[in-house]
């Protein structure tokens, strides 16, 4: 639904390069599973793109998005050109949210792992930068492998949320695009209204000229005077027409403002995901502390590790006490993650239901408004034709 994602203990797959032959082999392995989803749909992560924007806490950040392309298998006719695939962009954090959902919803299933979020176990000649093109490309291949693994699973492939992940445009993207098209429509309407106003006022000039002309003519005077009256009446009607147009413009503006309401739902979802990510990261940190304390191996520099080297190791009783405290903290953290995941799922479910209601309301309201606007424009054009038909009759009588 939104750009910010949920974090969980992510299984790490190798950080080695995957050749095109190996990638094809993976794809073939997936296809051999012949789930209903893979029979109906081709899935691939086509490319990655670096973007810059504001995160949940309104800080500037640079991140990578991945283009998911899907194409219906039935649409590919033998000997014909395949249709253009459906596509949407997803962040790595959204893949994490999907996997977290699958882990909680299907606890009895070995859920496929995601590629690593950050470069680990890096060979000294490889970059550890998360935005490094080589690392991003390896992660793109890993994300495609993840989608194909899930799509090839007999149970996971039938999950509705997974299908939406592949096909549904994220809500924030939908609200941004809706805002853009309605804004463009309102700008076009304003430009047309300006031109229309000018055209109608030109008819007022016709009326003035015909009236002045009629004053110096004897035989043609009555006809010119009548034609000028029709033109004046037509020119004066523009004010009522534009006032009626404003009514339809207001209906469009209402849905322009609705996009802000949709964005507020996205921001709330971002906040819940951010809170979940913080809770999950805290849990992962505590598990790492427990592992280091149990094994005596420190993976990263820490003040406690340096202190123990300077002042000696802690006693077995102190170590046991710390392990017990960490175990209790880990249990509380796992419960907090589970609660936050449940909150996130409940929010998505409720928000999605209301968004569907909103879309139905929007389709109905805007359809009626646009049809009424078209009818008004047709009526207006017919009145213009009638004005010139009346003027023609006036000219014929001269």
pLDDT digits (tens, 9 = 90+) for 205-230: 999 999 999 899 888 988 999 999 99
Of 380, 344, 334, 3, which is closest to residue 171 (Cα–Cα)?
Answer: 3
pLDDT band at residue 4, thresholds of 50, 70 and 90? very low
Alpha-carbon span 245 to 179, nearest angstrom: 20
Q: What is the pLDDT of residue 30?
A: 47
Q: What is the pTM of this model?
A: 0.58
Q: By the 8 A CB rule, do 272 and 345 touch? A: no
Of 150, 258, 228, which is closest to residue 390 (Cα–Cα)?
Answer: 228
pLDDT band at residue 34, thresholds of 50, 70 and 90? low
Of 91, 100, 35, which is closest to residue 63 (Cα–Cα)?
Answer: 91
Mean pLDDT to the nearest integer, 384-395: 90
Axis crossing angle, helix 171-214 with helix 221-236, rounded to the nearest 10: 160
> Considering the chain, what percentage of its residues have pLDDT values greater than 90?
23
Give the DSSP H or E segment for 52.
strand 41-54
Q: What is the pLDDT of residue 5?
A: 41
Q: In this structure, what token pair is assigned to residue 398?
A: 């001269």
Alpha-helical regions (H) of 126-220: 133-151, 160-167, 171-214
- What does pLDDT average to over the chain? 80
Alpha-carbon span 266 to 51, nearest angstrom: 19
| Least confident residue range of 63-67, 269-273, 356-360 | 269-273
Mean pLDDT to the nearest integer, 278-287: 83
pLDDT band at residue 141, thresholds of 50, 70 and 90? very high
Mean pLDDT to the nearest integer, 55-66: 72
Mean pLDDT to the nearest integer, 280-308: 70
pLDDT band at residue 299, thresholds of 50, 70 and 90? low
Given 3-state DSSP classes, what are the helix, strand and coil percentages for the chain, each rounded to the nearest 5?
70, 10, 25
Asked whether the predicted pLDDT for residue 106 surpasses 60, the reply is yes
Contacts of 265 (CB under 8 A, 6+ apart): 171, 351, 354, 355
Q: What is the pLDDT of residue 150?
A: 95
Give the DSSP H or E segment for 339.
helix 316-396
Q: Is 129 helix (H, G, I), strand (E, B) or coil?
A: coil
Q: What is the pLDDT of residue 83?
A: 66
pLDDT band at residue 107, thresholds of 50, 70 and 90? confident
Q: What is the pLDDT of residue 317?
A: 80
Give the DSSP H or E segment for 348.
helix 316-396
Mean pLDDT to the nearest integer, 118-147: 74
Alpha-carbon span 367 to 253, nearest angstrom: 14
Q: By the 8 A CB rule, do 342 and 13 touch? A: no
Contacts of 386 (CB under 8 A, 6+ apart): none
Q: What is the pLDDT of residue 213?
A: 92
- How many other β-carbons are positioned within 10 Å of the β-carbon of residue 208? 14
Mean pLDDT to the nearest integer, 116-122: 66
Q: By the 8 A CB rule, do 190 and 115 touch? A: no
Mean pLDDT to the nearest integer, 105-129: 73
Q: What is the pLDDT of residue 154?
A: 92
243-281: buried (b, 16+ CB within 10 Å) or exposed (e) per residue? eebeebbebbeebbebbeebbebbeebbebbbbbbebbe
């Amino acid at each position: 639904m939104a750009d910010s994602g949920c974090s969980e203990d992510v299984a790490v797959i190798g950080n080695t390069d995957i050749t095109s032959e190996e990638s094809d082999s993976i794809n073939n392995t997936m296809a051999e599973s012949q789930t209903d989803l893979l029979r109906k749909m081709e899935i691939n992560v086509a490319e990655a793109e670096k973007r810059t924007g504001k995160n949940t806490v309104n800080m500037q950040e640079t991140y990578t998005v991945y283009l998911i392309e899907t194409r219906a298998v039935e649409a590919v006719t033998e000997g014909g050109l395949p249709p253009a695939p459906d596509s949407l962009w997803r962040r790595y954090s959204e893949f994490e949210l999907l996997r977290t959902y699958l882990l909680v919803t299907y606890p009895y299933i070995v859920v496929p792992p995601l590629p690593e979020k950050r470069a680990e176990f890096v060979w000294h000649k490889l970059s550890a930068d998360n935005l490094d093109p080589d690392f991003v490309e390896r992660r793109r291949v890993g994300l495609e492998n993840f989608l194909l693994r899930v799509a090839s699973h007999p149970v996971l492939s039938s999950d509705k949320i997974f299908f939406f992940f592949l096909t549904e445009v994220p809500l924030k993207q939908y609200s941004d695009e809706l805002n853009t098209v309605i804004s463009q429509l309102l700008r076009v309407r304003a430009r047309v209204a300006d031109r229309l106003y000018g055209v109608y006022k030109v008819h007022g000039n016709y009326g003035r000229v015909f009236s002045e002309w009629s004053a110096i003519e004897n035989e043609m005077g009555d006809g010119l005077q009548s034609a000028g009256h029709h033109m004046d009446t037509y020119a004066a009607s523009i004010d009522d027409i534009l006032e009626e147009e404003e009514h339809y413009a207001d209906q469009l503006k209402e849905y322009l403002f609705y996009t802000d309401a949709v964005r507020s739902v996205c921001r709330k979802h971002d906040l819940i995901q951010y809170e979940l990510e913080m809770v999950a990261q805290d849990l992962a940190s505590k598990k790492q502390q427990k592992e280091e304390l149990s094994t005596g191996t420190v993976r990263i520099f820490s003040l406690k590790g340096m202190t123990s080297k300077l002042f000696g190791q802690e006693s077995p009783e102190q170590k046991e006490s710390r392990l017990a405290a960490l175990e209790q903290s880990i249990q509380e953290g796992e419960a907090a993650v589970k609660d936050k995941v449940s909150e996130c799922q409940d929010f998505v479910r409720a928000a999605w239901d209301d968004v569907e209601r909103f879309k139905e309301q929007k389709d109905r309201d805007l359809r009626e408004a646009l049809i009424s606007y078209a009818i008004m424009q047709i009526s207006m054009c017919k009145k213009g034709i009638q004005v010139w038909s009346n003027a023609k009759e006036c000219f014929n009588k001269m």
